[in-house]
Amino acid sequence: MNMLTPYQQELIHREIDGANTPEQSAEVRKLVETHPEAHALMSSLRDLDSLFRQLPEHETPAHVRDDLKHTVLLNLKAPQYERVQGATPSITRWASEQWNGVINFMGEFMLTKKVLIIGTTAVAVIAIIGQAVVGYQPSVFDAGTVGAGDGMSGVQQAGRYKGKIDETVTLSSPEIQALFQDDQVLKLIQSEVFRNTMRNDTFRNLLASDVFAQLMAAPSFQELMRNSSYQQLMADANYQELSRRAEFQALMANANYQAMMADANVRNLFANANYSQLMKNDTYRNLTANETFRNLMANQTFRNLMKNDSYLRLMANDTFRQTMAKDTYLKLAANDTYRVVAANETYLKVMSNDAFRRLEASASFRAISRNSQLADTFLADAMRVARVAP
């Protein structure tokens, strides 16, 4: 039996793949009829192809599809701001879609199975907001009573009035006007500390982000903010020191570590296959050699927090994890103010403040937050509203 040439073999493979021209197909047919080895190859490849065709296509699991919906929502950008002239890409429609997405997200949120322990991540968000309130002793919402102090060290201030305000953006949207009618929101906006904070680019970028808005809307996040174990942990010096370490932050973002912590038997992690994988991770090994980390692991407050349902639910939240992966967070997590803020009581008040949540829930407000000059105008308008109010 003559061996097939490489060309003949390729012709037969191409025939199976439907890649031959009619002339080449004719050549294959003739070859198969006259050449036993060609016939055998053709037959076996057809069998293989037939076997593949028998296989069912698997359905994507429902929970994965749900997660993908969240992915779509979380990465959705705001449309162009409302335009004064011409067609208006509807920011209202966008806000509505966002809201519906959040509703769906929240409905499924409590069913999320993964439980991830990302200790520093919550603190990061705290830091972002807390920078606004460090050193601010009386009521956060008393306009003009107290300045922000010098707690903004390490945070670059946004340049003001660098250019002309985008003429396509308007503050006259009903949503913004409604916010001005909310006494608590207005009081918050008019507070000096808030006004100063709004001039910080990083803070405004965070406010403008969709993921942060959703995080703020998550009841478990609010619950966590009020949890005493969590607050104690934030105030713990060991934890604060640890959370500033780059290797710890890297660990928190490590997929293997997260997978391990997602295991229902996380407290028995030494029996977990993911754990052995984690053990091979250089970042983790460096971290475990760190005395501060070991102190944290021995810290009763930290262990209490690990048992807290609210905290675990939050850690299971993809939105939260995505927030933590943002550059905005990483930038702020490295900020000197971080440690001070983490223990700041005023921050916790702000985070659990309904007015702040309403403000952050506003798509228009977040759109405004993207532009430093527009934010200035917004604040000025808020102050003007205060002056004309009876």
Partner 1 sequence: MDKSPAVNDELDRSLVQRYLNGERTAGDELVNRFHRSVYNVALRMLGNVQDAEDVTQTTFGNAFASLESYDPKYRFFSWIYRMTVNESLNTLKRRKDVVSLDGSFDVATPDASSESDAEERVGRALLELKPEDRAVVVLRHFVSFSYEEISDVLDVPVKTVKSRLFTARERLRDSLVAASA
Is 260 an interacting residue with respect to partner 1 (CB under 8 A)?
Answer: no
Tell me which of 2, 60, 172, 300 binds partner 1, using CB under 8 A. 60
Binding mask 9-28 for partner 1 (x = CB under 8 A): xx--x---x-x---------
Is 65 an interacting residue with respect to partner 1 (CB under 8 A)?
Answer: yes
Tell me which of 26, 64, 237, 297 binds partner 1, using CB under 8 A. 64
Q: Which residues of 134-149 are buried (b: 16+ CB within 10 A; e: fewer)?
A: bbbeeebbebeebebe
- Based on C-alpha coordinates, what's the Rg of the chain? 29
Tell me which of 29, 30, 72, 228 binds partner 1, using CB under 8 A. 72
Tell me which of 238, 256, 323, 335 binds partner 1, using CB under 8 A. 256
Is 67 an interacting residue with respect to partner 1 (CB under 8 A)?
Answer: yes
Report the site for partner 1 in 86-115 (rule: CB under 8 A). Answer: 89, 94, 97-98, 101
* Least distance in angstroms from the C-beta of 98 to partner 1: 8
Nearest 10 degrees: CA dihedral of 324, 330, 335, 338?
A: 10
248's CB contacts (< 8 A; 6+ apart) are: 119, 120, 242, 287, 290, 293
Site size with partner 1, rule: CB under 8 A: 46
Distance linking the first and last C-alpha atoms of the chain: 104
142's CB contacts (< 8 A; 6+ apart) are: 187, 191
Phi, psi of 265 (to 5 degrees): -100, 35
Listed ranges 45-53, 159-167, 194-202, 296-304: which one lies at the site for partner 1 (CB under 8 A): 45-53
How many helices and strands in the chain, by DSSP H and E?
28, 0
- Nearer to partner 1 by Cβ, of 170 and 295: the residue is 170
One-letter amino acid for residue 363 of the chain: A
**Residue 264 corresponds to which tokens in the numbers above?**
């229902």
Q: Is residue 183 helix, strand or coil?
A: helix
* Least distance in angstroms from the C-beta of 19 to partner 1: 6
Site of interaction with partner 1 (CB under 8 A): 9-10, 13, 17, 19, 44-45, 48-49, 51-61, 64-65, 67-69, 71-80, 89, 94, 97-98, 101, 256, 273, 276-277, 280, 322
